[in-house]
Structures are given as C-alpha cells and as structure tokens.
Chain A
Amino acid sequence: MQSPVNPEEMEKIFQKFPAMDAKTAEKMVRDLQDVINPRQVSKDWAVRVPYSRDQTGGGGSKVNDFRVPDIVVMPDSAGDVSHTCQIALKYGVPVLPVSTGANVCGMAVPLARGIMIDFKRMNRILEIDEDGLTCTVEPYVTYARLQAELEPKGYRVNVPGAPNSASVLANCFFVGDKYFSSKFGYGPMEIMGAEIVLPNGKVIRTGALATDPIEPDQVLEYVAGRHPASQQGPGRVCVQAFGPDMTGLPYQSVGRNGIVTKICIKIYPLTKSSRILIYGFKNLKNLTRCLAEICSREVGYGGIVNGPCYSIPALTNSNVDAEKLMKIFKNPLKAFLKTFFAFLKNPTLPFRKPFREVVSGMLGIRGRNFTMEVFLFGTPRRVDLDTKRTKEILANKEFTEEKPGDGTGMAKHMFWAYEKDAKPEYIYKVFQSLGLKDFRLDWLMRMGKMWDYNEVPARIMRKAAGFLLQSPRMPFGKMHWVFEIFLDVLRKAGYPGIDEGNWSTYINSGSGAHYACLEMDIIYDPKSQEEKNRAIQILMNVTTQLTQKGIYFPHNIGLARDLIEQMTVPKIWELTKEIREAFQATVLGPL
C-alpha cells in the first residue's frame, strides 16, 4: 500500500458543504422548472430532509448533518434528467440520483448536497422481450414488481441478496450479488445495455439498447417501434457491444459518473422443477471448500451461506421468538420436553412424514454456525441428479473434514414454493410446539417464496435495526482466515457475545468459484450514536487490516471511499479521476 496521504487530502474526505444560498436556489428552481413540471421541483426543507439518510443511517443523530440536498427534482424522463444535469453543471452543483435508497455504503445520501434526483415517477417496465430474453426497466422498478410481471409469462429475474424492495437498476449497477450469481453472474454480467445521461446532459445508449435501427441517441420514453410492457417481436441481442463497452462507466458510482435512466437486463425461463437443500457446518473452511466445488461443477444454480444472526431472525417473527429458538437450538433437552408436552395434545403428529422431516431438518442444522443453501433448478431428472451430486461433494473427505448437518427436511417445507409436496403448515406446528408464540402462518407462507420475493434481508435487521457491513470479494479459499480476523477485531473491540454467535455473515458466489463476496455484518442499536461510531470504527479497522493482506474491498463507505481507493488502488484511482474529470463527473459527483 502507498504511504498515507497528506493531512490536507485526509481533511477533504470529511469536508462538509454549506446549504445553497436562497437566491441561487431560487434561480436554479426556476431554470429547472422551465422544462420540468413545477410540482416536481422543490426546495422546501420538509421535502428535502428525508433524503439525508439511506440504509446505512446516513449521517449522525442529527437530521441535518450537512447531508440534506438543496433541491429535489422528480423527473419523468431522461430528458428531465438531462436538463437537470445541464443546469447543475452551469451552476457547478452536484447531482445525486436516488431510487429506493437501499444502499449500504452511504452512497444514496447527498454527501456534497446539491440536487437530489428522486426517481419515484420513473417506475415503468418498458419492455419484456421474450425473443432475446431481456427486459428494460426504469430506475424505480423494484425486484418484486419485476418478478411479479415476469412470473405469469414463465420467466424470472435473478433475485438479489438485498431486499426485493430494492431497485433493479441500482442493485445491478452497484454490482449487487444475486442468489443465483454462481450461474448467472453478478449484476454487471446481466446488464445488457443502459441509457445513461452524462454529466454534460448528453444521453447515450449502450449495448442492447443501442442496437435498434432507429434514430441515434434520441431521448425516448421507450424505444421507438416497440410496445411497452410486452414484446413478441425481434428481441435485444445479449452481447457486449460495440467494441469497448461504455456500460461500464456508471458501475459502483451510484450516479456520480453519469445517471442511468434505463437498464436492459437478462431474464431467465422458469424451470420445471426445483429443490432447495440446506446443510449446516461448524467450520467455515469445510463449508467454503464444498461450496467452491458445488459452484465450479455447476451444480444447480449454486449456493449461498448464512451465519446465525441471519438464519434465526429470518426464520422467526419477533426478537422474543428468535431468542427462544436460539436457546432451543443450544438446549435439545428443553426442546424435547416442550415438544413432548405439545404432542400430548396432538399425539398423531409425530407419525406424520412432513412433521418428521421438519424436525430432522432442524436437528440437522442445530448447533452449526453456518448454513449453506443450495439451489437446484432444472428438469426433474436434473434436480435429482444435482441432489445426488451435492451429497457426493459433501461426503467427500477431500472437501470437508466434518459431516455436514442435513437441514433439507426443514428446507423442503419452509420454502414450500419450490417443492411440489411441501406442507408448510408443519413448520408452523413444530414452531408452535416449541413455544414460539409470535410465529404466524400467514407470515410463514410469505417466506416460502423467498428465492423469488426476498424479504429476509430486511428482517435480519429486526434485532436492533442498525446494520452495517463490509463485503470484500475474494476466492472461497481465503474466507475462513479472513473471517477469523473479523471475529478477532470484534473481540478486541469488546463487542459482546462473539463466542455465543453474536455476529453474522453472508457468502455468495459471483461467478462459479472464481470469486465470491464475504459479507461481515455488525448489528448495533441505531439510537445510540456511540454504538454506531464503534461499528464504523470496527469495520474501518477490519478493512485496513485485510486490505494489507491483499483482500479487495470494492465498496467502501461514502466519505472514506476516495481516501481508501487512493491508498489501495492508486493507479486505478488516478486513472478514474482523470476520466471522471474528462466527463465533468467530478463536478456532478464530487464525493
């Protein structure tokens, strides 16, 4: 790593910008309203304040920690966005777009103030192309909405680890991991084209969105000659084009290199059969070795890993129930006694196959720190073969020294949407017999569709609702020692309950076994600024230590980003800076 930058540079990352003066704001609003509907441009403080936080909790405990934008614009089209950029450039004012604000790196907060572009009005699914298997959507289309439109047509989108209230466009461009990334890749591998408004207001269309034989570079509400929402005619071609692919410009920049107003992504056919397998591991190295093998051998759509602070809250409906379930997992005698007395009321229960499957599944993953979910999709024959292949990998001593716990019986009924003879009511019966009073059948039914309509990542925040993470990318082989460093940092910081499992992780392949993300999560009480500061400190500490050992962190939190990049990837930082200056992105996106 380069030696630390000079103190002046260091100061820059904490810089704060004052509010725009009233006169300038007034002038800018008028200029914006020349093109944009006046109701959709506002400098009212009550309209601006809500943009000061994103999923990281944004600034400090104060609302206006210098992170409130000066003006908010709600565009209807790329034309409105283009006009906004041109006005902003004229005044030298930053512009930041936001769709759902579900960003975990403080990037959806206007760190440099200026104009906030809120995409809520641009929420159309413009095209579902069944020939080229793509769809084209605007920024405010969420995964849930898109999946709901695709399913009746026999398609799916690759659902992310983020809650499905997240924007498809924003998640893909932030290189979001998806559940089936092992097969289909991360967001960028699925992006076939984009419409981008450059900082100078020019609109370009890239890749599959540029290949129509129509007037070049027109700013259109939807591509001319195509019918909105459903398309049976000639489709979009899924290759990177033309030559150097400018689709790469907005990646991970969250609107700071250019503002994306349309995205064309791949969609996939629904399969005839599916099955979700769950296995529990005590040792992360064993697990990642198996997972690397599963992903590299193209078994199903790959798999993911969850730590305890993910799994338990995900399965339960309240903190109280989560604590109960944790205790039960640790104390099987207690569990047995609880269920025994419950059976006295319903003696035929243990004789029923689904009940036994659920219980054996729970026993399978009991006491294991990590669970691995494997996603099998395909023809029935293929799903059966992949089930066999998975078991062979898990039984292979070359890959694992421990015998993984088999939670598949529980997975079958929990994720009822993926197995034909699933009986989710048995999950309910078992949980009720364990004394989980807040467990509701209707909520359980919702969770069963998790791999298509993901709500769980939001639910894992149930504990205290403060949630910060770092998510480096690396091959599977490094994860076990990287994670040990993370736990060590937590222990040294006095974080409570480390040995009791008060931590969490999430692992997902990005593309086969080539790279994966290892998410390190810290849960804190967001009402306590002290706890939040400590959480940030821990993560910075972890990031520094691991970067020095060659671990790559492509996402860094908001203000610290520039400094960390300058220190760790100096040549890329330098080149990117030059390119951003060339496009005047440094004016529109200084931080």
Chain B
Amino acid sequence: MILYPKTRSDLLRIIKVASKHKIALVPVSSEWDFHGSTVTDGGAIIDLRDLNRIEKVRPTFDGMSIDIEPGVTFQQANEHLRSQGYRLLVPLRQPPQASVVSTHYGKNPVLEANKYGYHQDWMILTYQMAIAKGIFVGFGSEGLETVGEPGDYPYSPRADLGRMFLGGLGSFGIVSRATVKLKYNPPKYDYLFATGENLSDLLKKLRDVTLHTDAGQTVLIADPKILASYLAKSRTELEDYWNKLPTWTAIIAIAGTDEYIQTEKLDLIDEAASNSLKLDENIMNLDISKILGPEFRLTDNIGSNFDLAPHIRIEFYTTLGRLGKIRAAANNLFKLHKIEEEKIGFMSNSIEMGRSYFCEYDIYYDGGSQKMDPDSLPNVGNVNLRELYEKVYKTIIEAGGVINMPRNPIIADLIYPRIPNYYEMMRVLKYCLDPKNIMHPRAVFAGRGGIEPKTVQITREVV
C-alpha cells in the first residue's frame, strides 16, 4: 500500500488510522537511498512527494532560513532561492532530486564539508514531527505556542529532543516540516587540483594545508572511477576517464568573490609549497573546472550517472590517523573475495579542514539498476554483493570506522550489539514515542521496537 498525503493534516490522519489498526508506516520522499532504508516488510509506504511546499524564506536579518515540507527537493529549493541570492548546500553524492529534509534528517554529508562541516550535522535548525500519538510536536523554538514567530533555535528546554530523534529515519515519527539553514550563493567557484600515487601521503599534505589556511569549500579526493562519475556524460566517456585520470586526484573548490578566491588560492598555494605539495589550476589539460562548476551548484551527474556504472555504496567516517588501517583491512577482504581493483572505487571528502573524513567505497557490478531488490544483487568476485556489503561494513567497524547512520538492519545489527546500554536507552525512547511500533519498525530498531520502561513510583514528603 502506498499513500500520498497532500497536506500535513492528511499525514496526521494517516498516522491516527495506522496507529488504531497497527499498520507499519514507512516514509519515503525522493527514493534516493543506497541502503534500503525505505524498504518495508509489509505495512504502508507514505510517499511524501506531494508535501512539497516552500512555506517561508527568511532573509539574513530574520534568521537566514527556509521552512520546507519533506517533499521539497534540492533542485526545487535552490531554483526558488537563486533570485534572492541564497542557496542550500548541496549534498555529497546525492542528486538534485533528493529530498532536502530526508537528506539532512538522515545525516547525509554535504559536498562543501571542508568549510561547512561545522554545520553538517546541524543543517536542520528546528523541525516539526508527526508522532504516533497523532499530534505534531515541534522541537526547539518550533515548539513555542505563541502568536509571534518564534525564530529558529534548535534546542528544546530540557533535553535536545531534536538531536535525539534526528537520524531516526522515521522510526520516532515523520518529519512534516523543517527549517533549514541557508547560505549565500557565491558568485563564483574556482578550483585547485593535486594528484598523487599514494593516498595517505596526499591526504596528509592536504590536511596540513587546509588546516593552516582555513581555506577551501571542498577538499575531495577520488580515484578515477568515482571522479569519472562526476565528469562523464556517457559510458564511453566514463571508461575514458577511468583510463586517463591519475591514481588519486584531489579537488579543492574555492568560492566567493574574485578577491576572496584569490586570497584563498594564494594562501593554499603558499602553504602547499611549504608542504612539498603541488597545486595546479587544472589536471592533465582537462577543463574540469567547467564541468565541476554545475556540480557544486546542483549535483546533477551523481544521480544520472548511476546507470552508467551501477554500484553499491559503503559509507563511513574516519580520521586521517585511522584511514590507513581501515583501508588495509578492507583491501584484504576484497583480496580474499577475489574482487578486482577495477570493481572498487574510493573517495574521501574532508570535513572541517580535515578533522574527519567522509569516505565511500563504490563496488561496481555488471547489469542491474538502482532499484534492484537487495536479495537479487549479483556476485562480485566470489561473493554475493549483499553478503559482501555486510562483510565490508563489519570490517570497517572493527577497524575503527564510524557509521553515523545505521541505514538498515544489517548495519544496525553490526553496531548496536557493541553498545547495548546505548541501544537499550534508544529503545526506551522508541517506546515513549511509538509504543505500538508502527513507525518504520525496520529502521534503526530492525523490527524490535521499543522497551517498556520499568519505573518505580516514589513520593517524597514536601513541606
């Protein structure tokens, strides 16, 4: 069953009925998910695409934010904002048709994380959620029930409920409206590039450079396969890039006015020189800047290029100090399962000047499309992709990689047994919000639902 609420009241009505009849609800906004987080074992899908109103844009002096419903996409929002000089930060590795709310609520990374990493987990300021009780609850200042407009302050008075429910993937409730941070639209982007044979060495130098200059919107390092997915328009072009591009390419994107760009560029080049790192305005005489430009405004190629090279994604976070160990462990696993190097892509995106890194392995397979049933995924090397998916995640977690969002029961079952007290606490919270376990039961809690808390009633004497 798929339901298409047209208004937020529809959403609430659906929830009330579902609660009454104990029907599981799985929210979906834009279907762009590589981890099966919107897959359901029965129950109903709530397709939120029609809840796509942009309700308000607040200029700088009024909080520099936008109120949107969950069906609003990046493309829709950024087109709306362009004339006012604002924008939403585009996500990393998600197409423009991705839902803004579910991208940020699902803690997906942003492209310009080198500069905006401080905001990466905080793109949503306040939000309203429809919970199993059949009411809307607003978090932070959104919860203020007064006549005036409350502003966008994320923190609720007695606990940061917003933070505690963010990342629930619909298991605590369905986000019905969110206020998202705006940024100014920079007049221009420019790029510097570095290449190298050794990933660790290149990353280390880049980290030193960006850390000491505080420069660069994005510092993204990719192997030819993933970099090609940003650049190519056809399979032929893709393969051509695979063969041409260096082993590792780093893209430093800089944005702003001409003067600003010039300042950051000079700082980067000076610092790179003292780190024996060469930064160029281009690589291999390819006019990449022209192609990359639109990607930073709206990541068009990511989505449309999936079918050129179908793959599964393994995503994790790490620090520079851990990455070597993680990659070594993952590479051993790939060798064990005889997976050829051509089948593996890798990229890393710097967060906050190299404080942490978002990393992604793409494992390519032949045939198929994005909407394949996970149980029908083919083999790669001598192992089935579904099995490999689990094994790679397990390896990464054991080597110290961090999975910020368990997007499906496979990952959830790898993480939560390691932190049983934490998980128990989450389950108590789940019970508070959704005692009947109708809100996306599979997400995060892998169908287990909440735990009823055991409380002791104690009355103290008062004066």
Contacts and interface: CB of A to CB of B under 8 A. Distances in A.
B63 A239 contact: no
Interface in A228-250: 233-250
B309 interface: no
A15 B463 contact: yes
B172 to A, nearest CB: 7
B63 A381 contact: no
Grouping DSSP codes into helix (H, G, I), strand (E, B) and loop, the A interface class, with mixed when no group exceeds half, is loop
B460 interface: yes
Nearest to A564: B157
Interface string A571-586: 1110110111111100
B421 interface: yes
A575 B263 CA distance: 50
Contact of B155 (A133, A252, A293, A581): A252
B355 A292 contact: no
Contacts of B321: 131-132, 233-235
A79 to B, nearest CB: 14
Given A15-B463, A244-B172, A251 B159 contact: yes
Interface stretch (B49-57, B207-215, B335-343, B385-393): B207-215
Contact of B158 (A133, A571, A580): A580
B146 A1 contact: yes
A581 B125 CA distance: 27
A548 interface: yes
Interface stretch (A434-442, A461-469, A471-479): A471-479
Contact of A550 (B149, B318, B424): B149
A548 B146 CA distance: 6
B61 A475 contact: yes
Contacts of B169: 243
Interface string B417-435: 1111110111011011100
B151 A515 contact: yes
B446 to A, nearest CB: 11
B432 A572 contact: no
A184 B406 contact: no
A89 interface: yes
B462 interface: yes
Nearest to A574: B137
Contacts of A575: 137, 161, 432-433
Interface residues of A, number: 113
A183 B352 CA distance: 11
Interface string B116-149: 0111111001000000000111111101111111
Interface stretch (A47-55, A211-219, A352-360, A529-537): A211-219
Interface string B375-402: 0000000000000000000000111101
B164 A246 contact: yes
Interface in B330-374: 351-353, 355-356
Interface in A379-408: 379, 381-382, 385
Given A385-B260, A551-B148, A584-B456, A572 B421 contact: no
Contacts of B115: 298
B81 interface: no
Given A184-B118, A244-B444, A381-B266, A237 B319 contact: yes
Given A244-B172, A582-B453, A569 B159 contact: no
Given A249-B164, A478-B151, A550-B144, A379 B213 contact: yes
B399 to A, nearest CB: 8
A188 B160 CA distance: 9
Contacts of B235: none
A250 B418 CA distance: 22
A18 B461 contact: yes
B41 interface: no
A32 to B, nearest CB: 18
A131 B406 contact: no
B118 A189 contact: yes
Contact of B65 (A474, A514, A555): A514
Interface string B179-190: 001001000000
Contacts of B147: 548-550
B197 interface: no
B162 interface: yes
A17 interface: yes
Given A204-B425, A269-B211, A475-B152, A240 B456 contact: no
Interface string A287-308: 0110011001110000000000
Contact of B455 (A382, A513, A582): A582
B84 interface: no
Interface in A1-60: 1-2, 15-18
A17 B463 contact: yes
B267 interface: yes
A127 B225 CA distance: 39
B64 A569 contact: no
A188 B404 contact: no
A541 interface: no
Nearest to A129: B319
Contacts of B166: 240, 244-245
Given A245-B163, A245-B164, A513-B61, A554 B157 contact: yes
A414 interface: no
Interface string B308-331: 000000000111111001000000
Contact of A477 (B62, B351, B406, B412): B62
A515 B164 contact: no
A496 interface: no
A587 B146 contact: no
A569 B125 contact: no
B416 interface: yes
B344 to A, nearest CB: 22
Contacts of A561: 157
Contacts of B227: none
A216 B61 CA distance: 46
B153 interface: yes
A462 B291 CA distance: 61
B275 to A, nearest CB: 14
Contacts of B356: 132, 237-239
Contact of A234 (B121, B151, B152, B322): B322
Contacts of B150: 550-552
Given A202-B421, A581-B455, A554 B58 contact: no
A54 to B, nearest CB: 18
A240 B167 contact: yes
From B61, B172, B400, residue with most partner A Cβ within 10 Å: B61
B125 A15 contact: no
B72 to A, nearest CB: 19
Contacts of B44: none
Interface string B426-453: 1011011100000000001000000001
Nearest to A589: B158
B165 interface: yes
A410 B424 CA distance: 57
Contacts of A568: 144-146
B319 A131 contact: yes
Given A235-B319, A551-B148, A571-B143, A271 B214 contact: yes
Nearest to A251: B160
Contacts of B264: 382
Nearest to A202: B421
12 contacts: A17-B463, A202-B421, A204-B422, A216-B417, A216-B421, A245-B167, A249-B425, A292-B60, A547-B146, A550-B147, A576-B161, A583-B453
Given A189-B121, A385-B263, 15 more contacts: A212-B400, A233-B321, A234-B321, A237-B317, A253-B158, A256-B158, A269-B353, A292-B64, A378-B214, A549-B146, A573-B158, A576-B157, A580-B158, A582-B453, A583-B453
Interface of B: 58, 60-65, 107, 115, 117-122, 125, 135-141, 143-169, 172, 181, 184, 211-215, 259-260, 263-264, 266-267, 317-322, 325, 351-353, 355-356, 397-400, 402-406, 412, 415-422, 424-426, 428-429, 431-433, 444, 453, 455-456, 458-463
Q: Which 4 A-B pairs have the closest CB atoms?
A: A550-B148, A92-B458, A248-B160, A248-B163
